[in-house]
Amino acid sequence: MSQWYPKKGRIIFHVDMNSFYASVEMAYNPELKGKPLAIAGNPEERKGIVVTSSYEARAKGVKTTMQLWQARRLCPELIVLRPNFDRYRTASKEIFQMLAEITPYVQPVSIDEGYMDVTAAEQHGNPVEIAQNLQEKINNKLDLPCSIGIAPNKFLAKMASDMKKPMGITILRKRDISEKLWPLPIEEMYGVGEKTAKKLRTFDINTIWDLANGDSYQLKQILGINGERLQNRANGVDTRAVDPDAVHEFKSIGSSQTLAEDTTDDAEIRILMHKLAENVERRMKRKKAAGKSVQIMIRYHDHKTVTRSRKLHQFIENKDDILYFANELFQKHWNSEPIRLLGITVQDVDEKQNIAKQLDLFTYEKEAEKEKLYEAIDNLSQKYGKNTFKQLQNDDKNEQPRTSFQKDFLDDFKK
């Protein structure tokens, strides 16, 4: 066992659920197994966006973020379902509970992936046995497939989990990187997005080997401090620890949503702005936080994206304040072209207990009055349902998927 558990260094797992949303739907309805399946925001809309798809659909060319009309052209027999986020959250919670039974050092990074530090988990067997048992347990109990990367650090574990899907277990040691990692195209490196890859290819950095062995000064000139970080990762260097409390670290809280169709309709935009502000308020309440800056994101029909923000004189946390400043930014910066996506984010966020707010007597009285009003509204909402005082004409049937899944719930498995 000693050869598996070094005196120095760590043993890190990256657990990545395979085609998670589609797999959950197949577990819920076994008749879907083996069929091309896509999860999309609005199956009835020609311009609905594919959130994820089964491997059978991927084999036909269906990809995430592809518009439904394109997916159906590639795969006429495609089955399309709306996302059921409550179902996915429940499955996620059960998965992370299984991980936590092996080690307390579990760090969720999204609804369907997370890291584990199993360096001190030798009572459960060697790392390969632990991975095999965990994979089988998730598959047997939840009928969900996953891939697991085993490595001495988080970056290599993440790269390893991507190397064999579905239901893969891959070991990636530092001595293996010249053979397994360096030959890969630069786009396949975790942390290198499309824009970064394009920049690197301009300088003939086409593979991870090119990055690992490139000129450090040139990389800093191209990518700034991120160039040094990526080169270290390409050489297998990553000192980040698996941090169970990382999910609580936040500097911003936001919500964004893709529209069913590109629009310039004021009423539709207004309804969405209210909904986004409400989402942000709810998440801030959950975090017991407030923020001192508001940002608006507008993505146009041609994918051009504009972000604008405003720093405030005091912290805000409620929907009306968030919506007021977001609307102000929107009206100032929208160029009246059709909109594909909108996002509202509160930045410079901190927990309220950490915010030292200096209040004079009049401000204190005003804030105290507002707190009583908010408490009364919350109590009425709990008794009679949301939007007791103001109902927006927004049909839930038209709900579209967010561009990113909020992480507020990721520590629920500990409760």
Q: Are 263 and 244 in contact (CB under 8 A)?
A: no
- Label the pairing between strands 169-171 and 146-151: parallel
In the sheet where 113-117 sits, what is the strand order? 106-110, 113-117, 12-17, 146-151, 169-171
Closest by CA to 348, choosing from 317, 307, 305, is: 317
* Burial per residue of 132-164, b for 16 or more beta-carbon CB atoms within 10 angstroms, e otherwise: eebbeebbeebebbbbbbbbbbbbbbbbbbbbe
Amino acid at 415: K
User: With 0-12 CB in 10 A as exposed, 13-18 as middle and 19+ as buried, what is 57?
Assistant: buried
Q: Where are the alpha helices (DSSP H) in 224-294?
A: 225-234, 266-287
Question: For 265, left (φ over 0), alpha (ψ -120 to 50), or beta?
Answer: beta
Residue 348 labeled ligand binder: no
Residue 404 φ/ψ, nearest 5 degrees = -135, 145
Q: Are strands 252-263 and 339-351 parallel, antiparallel or unpaired?
A: antiparallel
> What token pair was written down for 391?
């109902």
- Distance between CA 92 and CA 406 in Å, rounded? 13
396 annotated as belonging to a binding site for a ligand: no
In angstroms, rounded to a whole number, what is the distance separating the alpha carbons of residues 377 and 371? 10
Q: Give the integer Cα–Cα distance in Å for 367 and 371.
A: 6
- Say whether 113 is catalytic: yes
Asked if 115 contacts 106 with a C-beta cutoff of 8 angstroms, the reply is yes
* DSSP symbol at 65: T
Write out the two tokens for 68: 């439904």
Rounded-to-integer distance, Cα 58 and Cα 145, Å: 16
Residue type at 119? T
Q: Which of 113, 278, 281, 317 is catalytic?
A: 113
Q: By 3-state DSSP, what share of the chain in percent is helix, strand and coil, each rounded to 5?
A: 45, 20, 35
Q: Are strands 289-300 and 146-151 parallel, antiparallel or unpaired?
A: unpaired
Residue of 115, 238, 234 whose CA lies nearest to 181: 234
Positions marked active-site: 113
Residues at the annotated binding site for Mg(2+)? 16, 112
